[in-house]
Structure 1
Amino acid sequence: MGLIEDEVNEVSRLCCNVIPNSKLITCMTSLIRVDINQTNSRQLTVCLRFPDEYPKNKLLTEFKSRSMSITFLERFTKVCDDKAVEFVGKPQVMGLLKFVDTYLRENPLCIVTEEIFNVKKLLSVTSGDLKLRQKSSSILLTAKGGPFYISAKFHVPEQYPVERIQWDDCDCNLPQALVRFVNGQAKEIARQCVEAPLKKLKTNPEFQPKPSLERTFRFIIAAMKGFPEELCPSCEKLALPSTSQAVVETDADDNFLIRMFCGHIYHQGCLKKFMSEPPFPPGGKICPAKRKHPRSDRNHCGARKQSVSDKSELCQQRVTHDKWGLNDVKSAEAKWAHQQARVRELEEVIDFLQ
């Protein structure tokens, strides 16, 4: 009996005992196939073939998976090929199978390899950083826009993508209105990736959980990139100040920022002036912004892509907010008329005194 036959017998006896959650599918001198099922998202089929002049040459390795991305499988094949060099000249099968099992356990973020690759590619043309923490299965994302940043630690659960990514607090130097929006909308995007809508859609009756990491990160990165460039629709000046130190946190200040449901950001003083002056159309004021906002609250979980035509369309949405509801036309007109009457009275008094 030769070395290959001895290894085949050894794998047949030891594989399922040495490699937890594994199943030996094929064990022959022509092919060894083992299924490793650590979690729902870490399921891998290992196919090993003996080369000519074995063990002088390393095993031929191939991976297949329904749950793990092609990007990861391609990279992991190279990692295992490099590792197999260490086993050349001696029995290789059990050593390589142990390495595969250990690698998957020690690198839980392997299940989001393709998403991480895509996010890094996006950050390379924007601004920010991505740090991986394999032991805690977490990712530290820092997204930047001008002098502003947001940073948070995201945890990838074992049952991902059936379970969404999780995070608690975030470190951010944006005004609180924008911090609440980014954090809240990002969590809503992640939630809708894993929870079926209450009302089933005719076009997609069977809900399937979707990966939430890349969708969430793309929203945060795009929002941070766009904030420093946004204009107040009323005064048409930059909504945010040029430095983070100049951010106004006092809600009584005219430069305090208010984000409307249409997505646009107003200076509080500009909004007050806009809402209190005519015209007063039936149903309330219309946002004067010169384009629709790509992150309007009316868009599907803030993730709808802005079409080319949107860039030239006026906003045309009602100016609505928890604090700034729809105008009552008659009361708004009466208030404006009263204010104008007082102005005229004061002008008459000044003219009389002069």
Structure 2
Amino acid sequence: MDFVERELVEIRANCEKQIASSKIISCSATLVRVDLLPDRPNRTMTVCLRFPEDYPKSSAILVELKSRVYSDKLLAELTRLMDDYAREHLGTAQALLVLSFAQQYLLDNPLCVCLDEIKQLRMDIKGVENSQNVASQLKLRQRTSCVELIARGGSYVYRVTAAVPDSYPNQCVELRGQESNLPTVLVRYLNGQSREIARQCVEPPLRLSKEELAHFRPVRSLYRTLKFCLEATRDFHQELCPICNSTVLQAQPESMVLDEHADAFVERVYCGHLFHQGCLKLYLSEPPFPKGGKLCPAKRRHPRSDAQTYMGKGATAAATSAASGSQKKLDGAVCGIKLAHDRWVVNVKTAEARWAQKQARQRELEEVVDFLQ
């Protein structure tokens, strides 16, 4: 019995015993094929091993990795690491060693299932830092399978932790630990919208035909969710009030207006734009009063007016097409979305009556002044 045959006997006898959660698919002199973590379908990796002619004295075992879950970049990098590890053990049986090495790597680095998304987020953060010197950060917590984002925009910070479940990407990331020095209305928006983006990645819309429902597949939610948090936090401190054309947020969080009745209090309307409360009240209370209600006067549609913006090329294209269609109707002049706010629901007749009453009081005051003079 030659060396390879003895090693094959050892693999058949000990592989599934020594390497927990492994399954031998084939074991012959031409190919050894083993599934790692077969009990976790969204983390399974197939390892193919071949024995070269001069194995194991001068050549290491040949490794090929396959997976439907892990990215090609990860497979290439892990293959390189396994090749280096095998060369360190020339002259000895290498199959069980490299199989154990691969499985331990997957267990020690659970976030490798979303490697491409993490790399893309880091590129986005680096691009922001280069252009605006904004020190956002991305921290990996391999032990708990979590990704922590610290997004910055000016002096404002939003911190969120995304936990990656074992069934990812079939199950969306879980967002927790949100902390921020942004106004409460914006923190609520970030928390709610980011969860909605994550949900839409794995749950089909309610109004789908049977055929569309059959073709629905969950998509990865980590990048889409954290990209939204990063971009929104970065842009908040730069947004201008569409009425007075000055920045809505104070330069320093310590100067933020907390009194919800103050004119400088920050409000966010349903189309996504930010207003000073006083500016918004003034705009809504003055004519003209269109029959369908007032439209947002911002000069462009808000880039985050819809969660679909972050849901991929197809959805983005649809959202862009809808936005461009809306803009064409209004000759590209304004946002064009009806102004709505949960605290102020005023119909046209009520607004006109209030305006008329205000004008009547003003005329009465002017008459009194004229009489006294």
TM-score band (shorter)? over 0.9
Q: CA deviation at 1:113?
A: 1.0
Q: CA deviation at 1:203?
A: 7.2
- Residue in 1 that maps onto 2:131: none
What letter matches 1:67 in structure 2?
A: V
Work out which of the residue numbers 48, 60, 63 in structure 1 matches 2:62.
Answer: 60
Paired with 2:233 and 2:168, the residues of 1 have a C-alpha distance of 26
Work out which of the residue numbers 126, 145, 152 in structure 1 matches 2:153.
Answer: 145
Q: CA deviation at 1:135?
A: 0.8
Say if 1:215 and 1:302 are closer, same or farther in 2 by CA, change over 3 A.
Answer: closer
Per-residue CA distance 1:291-333 (angstroms, 9 max, x = gap): 1112115x537756474975855211111011122x3222211
Per-residue CA distance 1:201-251 (angstroms, 9 max, x = gap): 477332211111111111111212221221111111111121222222221
Work out which of the residue numbers 110, 120, 124 in structure 1 matches 2:126.
Answer: 124
Q: Do residues 205 (structure 1) and 213 (structure 2) align?
A: yes
Work out which of the residue numbers 341, 353, 361 in structure 2 matches 1:321.
Answer: 341
Paired residue total:
352
- Residue in 1 that maps onto 2:284: 275
Secondary structure, in 3 states, of the residue corresponding to 2:174? coil
Structure 1 gap segments, 5+ residues each: none
- Residue in 2 that maps onto 1:336: 355
What letter matches 1:39 in structure 2?
A: R
What letter matches 1:6 in structure 2?
A: R
Secondary structure, in 3 states, of the residue corresponding to 1:135? coil
- Residue in 1 that maps onto 2:232: 223
- Residue in 1 that maps onto 2:169: 161
Work out which of the residue numbers 76, 84, 87 in structure 2 matches 1:85.
Answer: 87
Q: CA deviation at 1:31?
A: 2.0
Q: Do residues 252 (structure 1) and 252 (structure 2) align?
A: no
Paired with 2:61 and 2:144, the residues of 1 have a C-alpha distance of 32
What letter matches 1:323 in structure 2?
A: R
Paired with 1:202 and 1:255, the residues of 2 have a C-alpha distance of 50
TM-score in terms of structure 2 length: 0.89
Q: Do residues 347 (structure 1) and 366 (structure 2) align?
A: yes
Aligned-pair RMSD on alpha carbons?
2.0
Structure with bigger helix share is 2
Contact 2:159 2:177 in 1 (8 A): no
Paired with 2:202 and 2:298, the residues of 1 have a C-alpha distance of 34
Contact 1:189 1:301 in 2 (8 A): no
Q: Do residues 236 (structure 1) and 236 (structure 2) align?
A: no
Structure 2 gap segments, 5+ residues each: 129-133
Contact 1:261 1:296 in 2 (8 A): yes
Greater Cα offset, 29-38 or 267-276: 29-38
- Residue in 1 that maps onto 2:17: 17
Paired with 1:158 and 1:255, the residues of 2 have a C-alpha distance of 46
Say if 1:214 and 1:79 are closer, same or farther in 2 by CA, change over 3 A.
Answer: same
Secondary structure, in 3 states, of the residue corresponding to 2:101? helix
Q: CA deviation at 1:264?
A: 0.7
What letter matches 1:186 in structure 2?
A: S
Per-residue CA distance 1:122-175 (angstroms, 9 max, x = gap): 111124111111111111111122221211121111111111111223111111
Paired with 1:136 and 1:267, the residues of 2 have a C-alpha distance of 41
Query: How many percent identity over aligned positions?
Result: 43
TM-score in terms of structure 1 length: 0.93
Paired with 1:22 and 1:257, the residues of 2 have a C-alpha distance of 56
Q: CA deviation at 1:28?
A: 1.9
What letter matches 1:267 in structure 2?
A: H
- Residue in 1 that maps onto 2:74: 72
Paired with 1:201 and 1:223, the residues of 2 have a C-alpha distance of 33
